[in-house]
Amino acid sequence: MRTTQAIDSVARSVYLAMVDLPDAGITELAARLREAEETVRQGLEELSALLLVVPGDTATGWRPVDLELGLAAMLARQQAELARHRLQVEDSRLEVTRLLTEHGRAGRDSAPGVEWLAGADTVWRRVAELAEGCEQEWLTVGPTERLATAASGGVPPVEEILRRRGTAARTIVLESVRNDPDAMDRLRGSGDGIGSIRTLPSLPAWMILCDRTHAVVPVVGVQSVAGAMVCCVESVTEAFAALFARLWKEALPLAEARPRTRGSLSLQEQHVLRLWAQGLTDAAAARRMDVSLRTVRRLSEKLTDRFGAQSRFQLGALAIAQGGILVEDTV
């Protein structure tokens, strides 16, 4: 069952054709779109479910609603549904953190190829062990300070181990690192390695891949790493490697200046609009982008004024209507 509703390409074409030809019937719309009449009817059913058409006295029996109002209704329904799922994900994350804290390394043998670690020191000792044995490539996704710097306890920083061993490394960090002079100085201090660092405004997951044979997925608390899962199951590590490849392709090299995209929107503004459209709260968006809640709320005020919106739902609808984000960004 679909948990969210997004307008597909056929339904979108039907909607736009109805706007252009308000008196057209299904046969005429089908001819205009070069689609079967049954396909047009299915498109109308989808538009009805999305509240983008309502019963009317036209030849099709349906009348397209104002785009802004229709998108606002669609986004409201999507955000309510997604908010419920976000709460379920947060509850699951907190439960994993609790189990890691309670059971520690006792769960290491609970499943073949899966190792559970509890506590930051334990995580970084294991990560350092993997770095010492890494022979081909070290891939990292996540906030620089939390994933690249070892905890206390005499464990050398991972980047120091990799540099000593001459191991190739690539890293994707959050775009917000560009606003942190100390972090930028540390990254620039990596010398020629800066070309292997890229940034994204938000990250779907934090992870480390060692030789694409071991995946480390940190469980992050409010302020620090609470534990981690280490997995060497091939199907899992291949999936994380594919995710890294996609993110790397989308990411911006750290050495390049941040471009402004979609008209006057910055990458940060575009991404926070996308996260809101996907149902994330301000707090959840702040965690995903690793910025303060105050920063997200400041962006909200700025974007609301810029688009002339009266509500968050209207802001999302106007952003889509004006090309700030795409309909596909809402799922």
Tens digit of each residue's pLDDT (9 = 90 or more) over 201-246: 777 778 899 999 999 988 765 456 778 889 888 888 998 898 899 8
* Predicted confidence band of residue 105 (pLDDT cuts 50, 70, 90): very low
- Predicted confidence at residue 178, as pLDDT, reads 76
Tokens 């069952």 locate to: 1
State pTM to two decimals: 0.54
* Predicted confidence band of residue 306 (pLDDT cuts 50, 70, 90): confident
Helix (H, G, I), strand (E, B) or coil at 166: coil
* Predicted confidence band of residue 173 (pLDDT cuts 50, 70, 90): confident
Q: What residues contact residue 180 under an 8 Å CB cut-off, 6+ apart?
A: none
Q: How far apart are CA 271 and CA 98, in angstroms?
A: 31
Of the listed ranges 114-128, 196-210, 220-234, 299-313, the one predicted with least confidence: 220-234
Q: How far apart are CA 287 and CA 296, in angstroms?
A: 10
Domains and CATH numbers, the chain: 9-65 (1.10.10.10), 70-87+259-330 (1.10.10.10), 108-253 (3.30.870.10)
* Predicted confidence band of residue 308 (pLDDT cuts 50, 70, 90): confident
Q: Is the pLDDT of residue 1 over 60?
A: no
- Predicted confidence at residue 6, as pLDDT, reads 53
- Predicted confidence at residue 164, as pLDDT, reads 87
Q: How far apart are CA 60 and CA 65, in angstroms?
A: 14
Q: How far apart are CA 327 and CA 279, in angstroms?
A: 13
* Predicted confidence band of residue 158 (pLDDT cuts 50, 70, 90): confident
Both tokens of 278, joined, read: 């996907």
Q: Is the pLDDT of residue 90 over 80?
A: no
- Predicted confidence at residue 3, as pLDDT, reads 39
Q: Is the pLDDT of residue 108 over 50?
A: no
- Predicted confidence at residue 130, as pLDDT, reads 92
- Spell out where 157-291 has E strands: 168-174, 197-200, 207-210, 214-220, 225-231, 252-253, 260-261, 265-266
Phi first, then psi: give them for residue 111, nearest 5 degrees: -150, 140
Q: How far apart are CA 112 and CA 306, in angstroms?
A: 53
Q: What is the mean pLDDT of the chain?
A: 75
- Predicted confidence at residue 5, as pLDDT, reads 47
Tokens 């995710």 locate to: 243
